[in-house]
A and B are shown apart, each in its own frame.
Chain A
Amino acid sequence: MASPLKQFTIEPILDLNIGETDISFTNSSLWMVITALVLIIFVAVGTRRSSIVPGRWQSAVEYFYQVVADMVRDNVGSGGRPYFPFIFALFMFILFGNLLGLIPGSFTFTSHLAVTFAMAAFIFIGVTLIGIFTHGLKFFSLFFPHGAPIVSAPVLIPIEIISYFSRPISLSVRLFANMTVGHVLLKVIGGGVVALGSFYILPGIVPFMALVAITILEVMIAVIQAYVFAILTCVYLNDALHLH
């Protein structure tokens, strides 16, 4: 019985090395490229020959635009308009990456902490720099208690700083853990279907129904996790732009 963790191994498709650094084109990179291409085709073809009364494809693209635009407007306010393209790209990339990973035989590139932490680290550093450039040194008033007694400051400030630094960790681990655990669960139940159903079909039907239910749950989780990643990015951006 193969391990359910074998599906996450990264295999190089094209071995490339610059000196000691391994920059091969792997199955993870392949699926990132596929996600990007699917996204580009989806948005570009959908908005070609755009009309005021949209057709079906254009409606679908406009729906995603509206979801992200509402998210940015409600969570960042009017000052968040310049950041909309970034949040849109982030949300759609993670969404399509998660969903394409549910295709049997594909690879979920968001199921690797390296990928999600790279995204979360960029967002964290970017948002902190935006905050410092917008407010100067007043940005650090983010950590000072607002309306709390000044005596409690030596206790509250380290707690605030630690919880600020826990943001990229929680952001990345949330997405990585959800994707990994979901796919491990799918593999384990799939193995149960094969084990029970290989001689007679009937015993395999019950785990198969569980597999169908878990797959539906995984589609929901894929969408929700992409949405939560994007909306938390908007919330952190709001914290940096308008200090509390």
Chain B
Amino acid sequence: MEVEAAGLISNGLKLVGAGLAAIGMVGAGVGVGRIWASYIEAIGRNPASKEEIGAFIWIGFAVTEAIALFALIMAFIILAS
């Protein structure tokens, strides 16, 4: 009886933990938005630099998105443990 209750509580807490871990993706959302905000501003100031900077936004996006996915993988690990 006690063991069942403990199992249910730990299952519930696992879900809460996974939800909390996924909150970490907020920072990455802000970061990804800033990449394109700065790209658009840079094009606004100097339209000729579009090609040169255009290659970097995808690298920046992928690296920033990776942090979001680290948080998501943590959530999945907590969920599955």
Decide: B59 and A177 in contact? CB cutoff 8 A: no
In the complex, the chain B residue whose C-beta lies closest to that of A223 is B58
A224 to B64, CA, bound (A): 13
Contact, CB under 8 Å: B72 / A181: yes
Distance of A231 Cα from B65 Cα, bound (Å): 16
The chain A residue with its CB closest to the CB of B70 is A173
Q: How many residues of A contact B (CB 8 A)?
A: 13
Residues A178 and B65 in contact, CB atoms below 8 Å apart: yes
Query: With an 8 A cutoff between CB atoms, is B73 at the interface?
Result: yes
Q: How does the 8 Å CB contact mask read for B38-73 relative to A, with 1 for contact and 0 for none?
A: 000000000000000000001101110110011011
Determine the main DSSP class of A at the interface with B.
helix
**A227 sits at the interface (CB 8 A):** yes
A228 & B63 in contact (Cβ 8 Å cutoff): yes
Contact between chains at B58 and A181 (CB < 8 Å)? no
CB-based A-B contact count at 8 angstroms: 36
Interface centre among B58, B59, B62 (most CB of A within 10 A): B62
Given A173-B70, A173-B73, A177-B72, A224 and B61 touching (CB < 8 A)? yes
Q: Are B69 and A228 in contact (CB under 8 A)?
A: no
B58 touches A174 (CB 8 A): no
Return the chain A residue nearest B56 by Cβ.
Answer: A231
Q: For A232, what are the chain B residues with a Cβ–Cβ distance below 8 Å?
A: 59, 63
Contact B72 A228 (CB under 8 A): no
- Flag whether A28 is at the interface (Cβ < 8 A): no
Q: How far is the CB of B39 from chain A (nearest CB, A)?
A: 15
Whether B62 pairs with A225 at a CB distance below 8 angstroms is: yes
Q: Which residues of B contact A225 (CB under 8 A)?
A: 62
Determine if A177 and B70 form an interchain contact, defined as CB atoms under 8 angstroms apart. Answer: yes
Which of chain A's residues have a CB closer than 8 A to the CB of B59? 227-228, 231-232
Task: Indicate if the CB atoms of B66 and A170 lie closer than 8 Å.
Answer: yes
> CB distance B62 to A228 under 8 Å?
yes
CB closest residue in chain B, given A225: B62
Chain A residue contacts of B61, Cβ below 8 A: 224
Interchain nearest-CB distance for A72 vs B (Å): 14
Residue among A173, A177, A178, A227 making CB contact with B58, cutoff 8 Å: A227
Q: A224-B58, A227-B58, A228-B58 are in contact. Are A178 and B69 (CB under 8 A)?
A: yes
A-B contacts, 23 listed (Cβ < 8 Å):
A170-B66, A173-B70, A173-B73, A174-B63, A174-B65, A174-B66, A174-B69, A177-B66, A177-B70, A177-B73, A178-B62, A178-B65, A178-B69, A180-B73, A224-B58, A224-B61, A225-B62, A227-B58, A227-B62, A228-B59, A228-B63, A231-B59, A232-B63
17 more CB-based (< 8 A) A-B contacts, given A177-B73, A178-B69, A180-B73? A170-B66, A173-B66, A174-B62, A174-B63, A174-B65, A174-B66, A177-B70, A177-B72, A178-B62, A178-B66, A181-B69, A181-B72, A224-B58, A225-B62, A227-B59, A228-B59, A232-B63
Residues of chain B whose beta carbon lies under 8 Å from any beta carbon of chain A = 58-59, 61-63, 65-66, 69-70, 72-73
Sorted nearest first, the 7 A-B pairs with minimum C-beta distance are A177-B69, A174-B66, A228-B62, A177-B73, A224-B58, A224-B62, A228-B59
